[in-house]
Amino acid sequence: MNLPKILEAKERTSKRVAILYDDYNNEGLSNFGRGKKYLILTYGCQMNEHDSEYISGIMEDIGYQKTDDMDDANVIIVNTCAIRENAHNKAEGMLGRIKHLKETKSDIIVIFCGCMAQEEKLVNKVKDYKWIDIICGTHNYHKIPEYLMERLNSDRVCEVYSIEGNVIENIPVKRDSKYTAWVNIQYGCDKFCTYCIVPYTRGKQRSRKSEDIVLEVRELYNNGYQEVTLLGQNVNAYGKDFDNGYDFADLLGEVSQTGIPRIRFVTSHPWDFTDKMIEVISKCDNIMPYIHLPIQSGSDRILKLMGRKYTTEEYLEIVRKLREKIPNVSITTDIIVGFPGESNEDFEKTLDVVNKVKYDLAYTFIFSPREGTPASKMEDTTSLEEKKERLAKLNELINKYAFEANKKMENKVYNVLILGKSDKDNKYMGYTENMKLVNVSCSEEYVGKIIPVKITGVKTWSLDGEVNE
Ligand code: 5AD
Ligand code: SF4
């Protein structure tokens, strides 16, 4: 049994990480799951969604088939998120349901993995839930075949590493979409913003080799993919762990050369956002005009307490350059309200910045103390009531600007990549280059294609459109 340790997870050394091309191993197990089914439940961010695509790839590589029906599953995998308390609560609620199911179907194998499995306090708690068969963390989910094997001869397997992490290549992947794909370019984070659990759950910031990334994108393009999203906690810090000066702007340039029609990337940090990056984005037509640039707070005092290492003025300067160089650019952000010590005046400064930037969209959160992070120990005197009021006020402003940004697109024509059926009355849904969701009146034949769409209706969260013949 290997349990997580928060103090070890925090350590950073200058040791180069290993890039492992043959660490995934299913030797002798390719028929292990034949005739059996797995169900995977995913909580959290795109990184987790993409990890689940790898876990699905692994399960199918050893013979299992996917199911969405819990009663039909022989293996249930819960891929958890630790970023805020409500992500925890959702996963814990699901664990309750699975426990219940296991009382009547004792032969189901339950795998608990993801970011919550990297948390010391949490694993100390769930390790006593005897009905969880396998616990593994973010650094070793590629070992699931071995753990399933081991489980045959033991009551349970619990293996979580609190390490800086490696780069593991050649894990099989089963992607959810045939048209858009996530591509990891970098794992982990070294920024240690004081509220954030990510550097503890995902290890040190480490980049994949550009050759491996470009190869993956090229293969996706050859297989008909229209869009890739380059994924990392801080994509613009890509390459900082190499010693050859190769950076994210260089990578973007190379990925652009593959010719894939659409390239996106998340998440950018204002700290490492270079002019060179803006230049490359503005020059390459297949790099989409959409930037997610988390500000977190509009108060320099709070930004300092958060350890964000930029001022609002520096942030606004990046926004100014983006808007100057990239026509039609959409800018979205993340904002935390109620960080410990945030006064009404600090909060008003956040509203000021929102009024200046006029975001296309923002993801807003109430501060959630995460065990082991510095902010969880900071004095916090603002009541939850007050925080909720601030959040409501902020959301109102965000929605106003989201609608205004959408309104500007009315009656104009945009290229939309149609992804599939929409929930809305017989329409198909897709995204514009600047990442606006559009429900389009069109037929099945357009799925997977980029087509010109005229915007006919505008809402806060989406647009309506029809094919512009
Ligand atoms: N409390 C509230 N929001 C948080 N985020 C990260 N950690 C916390 C926390 N402890 C938000 C940040 C980040 C987004 C992914 O989640 O805004 O950008
Ligand atoms: Fe968390 Fe900050 Fe790293 Fe983002 S940059 S993952 S908010 S520590």
Distance (angstroms) between ligand 1 centre and the Cα of 112 equals 22
pLDDT tens digits along 398-421: 999 999 999 999 999 999 999 999
Structure-block tokens of residue 301? 């005092």
3-state secondary structure of 450: strand
> Which ligand has its closest atom nearest to the C-alpha of 45?
1
> Which ligand has its closest atom nearest to the C-alpha of 350?
1
- Which residue minimizes the CA distance to atom 1 of ligand 2? 196
> Which ligand has its closest atom nearest to the C-alpha of 193?
2
Segments of the chain scoring below 70 in pLDDT: none
Q: What is the predicted pLDDT for the residue at 128?
A: 81
Distance (angstroms) between ligand 2 centre and the Cα of 99 equals 33
* Ligand 1 and 367: CB distance under 6 A: yes
Q: Are 254 and 211 in contact (CB under 8 A)?
A: no
Q: What is the predicted pLDDT for the residue at 47?
A: 95
Distance (angstroms) between ligand 2 centre and the Cα of 284 equals 28
Distance (angstroms) between ligand 1 centre and the Cα of 338 equals 11
C-alpha dihedral, 343 to 10 to 199 to 144, nearest 10°: -140
Q: What is the predicted pLDDT for the residue at 425?
A: 75
Own/partner contacts of 341-344, CB < 8 Å, gap of 24 or more, are 341/302, 341/305, 341/378, 341/379, 341/380, 341/381, 342/297, 342/299, 342/302, 342/367, 342/382
- Rounded distance between C-alpha atoms, residue 60 and residue 49, angstroms: 17
* Ligand 1 and 296: CB distance under 6 A: yes
- Rounded distance between C-alpha atoms, residue 400 and residue 405, angstroms: 9
Q: Number of H helices and number of E strands within the chain?
A: 13, 21
Distance (angstroms) between ligand 1 centre and the Cα of 254 equals 31
Ligand 2 contacts (CB < 6 A) are: 189, 191-193, 196, 198-199, 233-234, 269
Q: What is the predicted pLDDT for the residue at 127?
A: 81
Per-position DSSP letters for 64-110, written without gaps between them: -EE-S-GGG-SEEEEEE--SSHHHHHHHHHHHHHHHHHHHH-TT-EE
Number of other CB atoms surrounding residue 225 within 10 Å: 21
- Which residue minimizes the CA distance to atom 9 of ligand 1? 368
User: For a pocket test of ligand 2, which of 187, 269, 367 has the largest count of ligand atoms closer than 8 A to its C-beta?
Assistant: 269
User: For a pocket test of ligand 1, which of 196, 235, 305, 373 has the largest count of ligand atoms closer than 8 A to its C-beta?
Assistant: 196
pTM of the model: 0.96
Q: What is the predicted pLDDT for the residue at 432?
A: 98
3-state secondary structure of 207: strand
Distance (angstroms) between ligand 2 centre and the Cα of 384 equals 24
